[in-house]
Structure 1
Amino acid sequence: TLIPTFCFSSCYCKENLSRAQNAVRGSGRLNRSGLSLLVSPECLESTESGDVFVDCQDRRLTSIPKSQTWSREPKHFLLARNQIKVLRDGAFFGYESLTSIDLQQNQISLVEEGAFKGLTRLTTLLLQHNRLETLSEEALIPMPHLRYLRLYDNPWNCLCLMDSLIRTIQIPSNRNLGNHARCAEPIRLKGMKLKQVDPELLCKESDPTNETRGNQTDTTHPVKPSPIRTKPDATTSCHTYLFPEIWMDCSRKGLTEVPTGIPEDVVRIDLSHNSIRHLRARDFQSARSLRSLNLSNNNMEHIDTVSLSGLLHLRQLDLSDNSLHFVQYGVLEDLYFLSKLKLGGNPWVCNYSIHYMVYWLRLHQGVRYSGLLCHSPPEYTGESVEEYMHSYNRECPKDRQHSRTDQDQTDPELWNTAMEAQAELEEELEPSHLRAPQKYQIFRLS
């Protein structure tokens, strides 16, 4: 926006100056003369628990915005899923208050040694899912309080330039620096974790005759087969976000089963749009803090009884758009605080197998659920499962009760026999409002 330097009248000048100031005020900060110092990207500023967050994710940024852009000094800077390729010296000048930076899922291939200069309070740096081949320990020196450094899913070239970084992350006190990062080159170290590489071997001169003949003749360091992994690892297969809450995005990753190693402090995980057909026991045994679990669009056919065992804090569960016919007895028993349950898009079969789900929902009236519609048999297709249950309780149990009463009255020899005990057991399984008045009440103590 241009402010006119020549005005035919003072009124015209003031009017246009006001308009220009209003125009730039929404996109940047004004200096004393009223001009904008810079144009702000469309990022969001927010406050969580007293900490200022700047969310610049998915903004197609190619560089770090200037620190003067924000109204307050941020503590957490979210820059994931942009198009940043290089972190230049002084890239974070003016961001001295930062304690965390999320740069995952960019295109970063170069980090200059002074890129993080001044970040003396930084504790968390996320650089996973980028294009880094090498990184010097010098880049980490300005961050003396760094405790969490994520480097995996980068094509690390484990040669001499990586010597100092590998030695640094292998110090025992740096147990959370560089976990899961692996070498992509040279071929003799491909797939090996940086934490396990012997730094003494990195700077040794290679045999030039071997170089000319190729890696196939390297007898000193034979090629090791990649280890066979029975299940994918959550940390390397999924995108992990730490702020404002710890959550994992595992959607559309081609998973055929729930990955292992879900961190205990993850509160939300998205496993939608994969090919997970079966939830097995102990799939979520380490995810004790989960509050939201999305398993939609997986063609899931079966859920083991104890698959969700231990998820005592789970509040939201999405099972929509799968191939579930019913949920077997016991699956939902640990979900004490569940408040939202999505069930639509499943071919629910309205027979006795669906009763457990209905009775559980009746006992947990605080759960808001949707999508529980009969898909088969044909006479119930399109009806809600609740309507099916009303019709079941209205017709079938009464018939069973009547026939049993007639038999008991006409055949006194069967009284006080095993058949009578079996009848009592069947009566217990009926809904309470359909039971006949009992003369005696039985209390079981075991």
Structure 2
Amino acid sequence: MRVTASLLFASLLLLLLPSIEMRRPGKGRGLKGARHKLARDRVRGVGRHGRSPPSCSESVEAGDVFVDCQGRRLNAIPDSKTWSQEPKHLLFARNRIKVLRNGAFLGYEGLTSLDLQQNQISLVEEGAFEGLTQLTTLLLQHNQLGTLSEEALIPIPNLRYLRLYDNPWICLCGMESLIRTLQVPSNRHIGNYAKCAEPTRLKNIRLKQINPELLCQEPDPTSNQTDPAKPLEPSSIRGKSDATVVCHTYLFPEVRMDCSNRGLTEVPAGIPEDVVHVDLSHNEIRHLKAKSFNGARSLRMLNLSHNRMEHLDTGSMSGLLHLRELDLSDNGLHFIQHGVLEDLYFLSKLRLGGNPWMCDYSIHYMVYWLRLHPAVRHSGLQCHAPLQHVGESVEEYVHSYNRGCPKDRLHNRVNEDQTNTAQELQAELEEELEPSHLRKPKKYEIIRLS
């Protein structure tokens, strides 16, 4: 009996040995164990670089790799190996970066443009841009920089465009080397529009207009930080706003200017000629004056929606020969004055909704212009007044105007003069209905002798 029990125990032990061997740590976990380890490593951030990459987007346009990290609340520049391809353009606008440390862009040697505007950058160490020998465009506007040395720009020998405006520059001795660099004639696109915030005697004066030899001179304590020989430049609030300071400019993937929600009462001056898209929506503009966009020769898209515009001067759109899209919706326009649209040869899209269009003879110019430009896709042109035409499209109103009462006049004139043909009467009628400014001058006139 004891022998039988011993044999049974030995057999059971042999059956259990493979199971025990499979459960030893580090062995026999199989596919399920591998999946568990991979999931755990992902949670811990173990990967190619020891952390998960930020939620940025990568795209390729015209063969160039763009990395878009705008508005991601980043406080540092991610490692260059984070991205699947070597980027040519880095977009880091609207983040929380405060300091650019030495070597911040090591590994980004192929960069040609770097957008760091609208951060909180107050310090750029001298070696921050080390290695960026291919960089041509650097955007540092709308930050908290008070000083910047020329040494910080030395690692960027191919720099062609540098934006520094809307920073609280302290124009003292530490800025001497940078200001001298900005004033070199070949650097005409570097540091334009940047102004001093301190000291008081130099406030609102552009860096390019300051005599650098005076920066390291100790001011006279009795002068109270003012220079009577050099009056202060008037504040920009008193004059017309400068577009490059008031608006946010983005260079990639196209040059566009965001001037929306700025409380503007007129179009700001100095829109650069290479800007393609200008957004002036949600402001307080009531009157669009002549030559408002003088110099903006490359403009393709213009958004003037959600303002309070009631009147557009005849020359307000002059020079916009390449404009493709125009948004005038949600304003106070009753009609479009003759000549406003005459320069818009290539316009293809026109938004007009949300305006109180007045359906009387003043609206005819708009309809005739659209008839002469059938390629323009327009929307929102509906009568708001008078009461009998509310909700009717302006085209229907003009059609009914031309085909209503004139028919009776045509019938009466046929009865009065049977010698005139119907074609002659119709031609005369159309000439009477067409606005005078659209009529062609008569080369000759036939007078019938009875």
Letter in 1 for 2:259: C
Correspondence for 1:132? 145
Correspondence for 2:21? none
Shift of 1:404: 4.2
Letter in 2 for 1:323: G
**% identical equivalent positions:** 65
Question: Which deviations, in whole Å up to 9, do the C-alpha atoms of 1:32-84 show, x marking residues without a partner?
Answer: xxxx5321111111111111111111111111111111111111111111111
Answer yes or no: is the 8 Å Cα contact 1:188–1:221 preserved in 2.
no
Correspondence for 2:6? none
3-state DSSP of counterpart to 2:404 = helix
Shift of 1:307: 1.7
**Whole-angstrom CA distance in 2 between matches of 1:225 and 1:314:** 35
- Verify: 1:13 aligned to 2:26, yes or no: no
Letter in 1 for 2:374: Q
Correspondence for 1:348? 357
The partner residue of 1:111 within 119, 124, 136 is: 124
The partner residue of 2:96 within 83, 98, 104 is: 83
Letter in 2 for 1:246: V
**Whole-angstrom CA distance in 2 between matches of 1:80 and 1:428:** 57
Q: Cα 1:107–1:329, aligned 2, differ >3 Å: closer, same or farther?
A: same
Correspondence for 1:330? 339
Question: Which deviations, in whole Å up to 9, do the C-alpha atoms of 1:373-421 show, x marking residues without a partner?
Answer: 1100011111222232332233122133334445556xx9xx9xxxxx9
**Whole-angstrom CA distance in 2 between matches of 1:234 and 1:406:** 64
Answer yes or no: is the 8 Å Cα contact 2:286–2:309 preserved in 1.
yes
Give the TM-score normalised by the residue count of structure 1.
Answer: 0.85
Q: Cα 1:403–1:280, aligned 2, differ >3 Å: closer, same or farther?
A: farther
Shift of 1:323: 0.3
- Verify: 1:428 aligned to 2:448, yes or no: no
Correspondence for 1:364? 373
The partner residue of 1:378 within 387, 394, 399 is: 387
- Verify: 1:321 aligned to 2:330, yes or no: yes
Correspondence for 1:234? 243
The partner residue of 1:147 within 160, 167, 177 is: 160
Correspondence for 2:289? 280
**Whole-angstrom CA distance in 2 between matches of 1:273 and 1:239:** 15
Correspondence for 2:403? 394
The partner residue of 1:40 within 37, 46, 53 is: 53
- Verify: 1:309 aligned to 2:312, yes or no: no
Correspondence for 2:438? none
Instruction: Mark the runs of 5 or more structure 1 residues left unpaired by the alignment.
Output: 416-420, 432-441
CA RMSD of aligned residues (A): 2.8
Question: Which deviations, in whole Å up to 9, do the C-alpha atoms of 1:141-187 show, x marking residues without a partner?
Answer: 11011111111111100011111111111111111111111111111
The partner residue of 1:297 within 284, 292, 306 is: 306
**Whole-angstrom CA distance in 1 between matches of 2:166 and 2:109:** 28
Answer yes or no: is the 8 Å Cα contact 1:313–1:335 preserved in 2.
yes
Shift of 1:347: 0.2
Answer yes or no: is the 8 Å Cα contact 1:7–1:13 preserved in 2.
no
Whose Rg is larger?
2
Letter in 1 for 2:35: E
3-state DSSP of counterpart to 1:400 = helix
Give the TM-score normalised by the residue count of structure 2.
Answer: 0.84
Question: Which deviations, in whole Å up to 9, do the C-alpha atoms of 1:341-372 show, x marking residues without a partner?
Answer: 11111000111111222222233222222111
Correspondence for 1:418? none
Moved more, 359-368 or 197-206: 359-368
3-state DSSP of counterpart to 1:173 = coil
Count of aligned pairs: 410
**Whole-angstrom CA distance in 2 between matches of 1:427 and 1:143:** 67
**Whole-angstrom CA distance in 2 between matches of 1:7 and 1:364:** 78
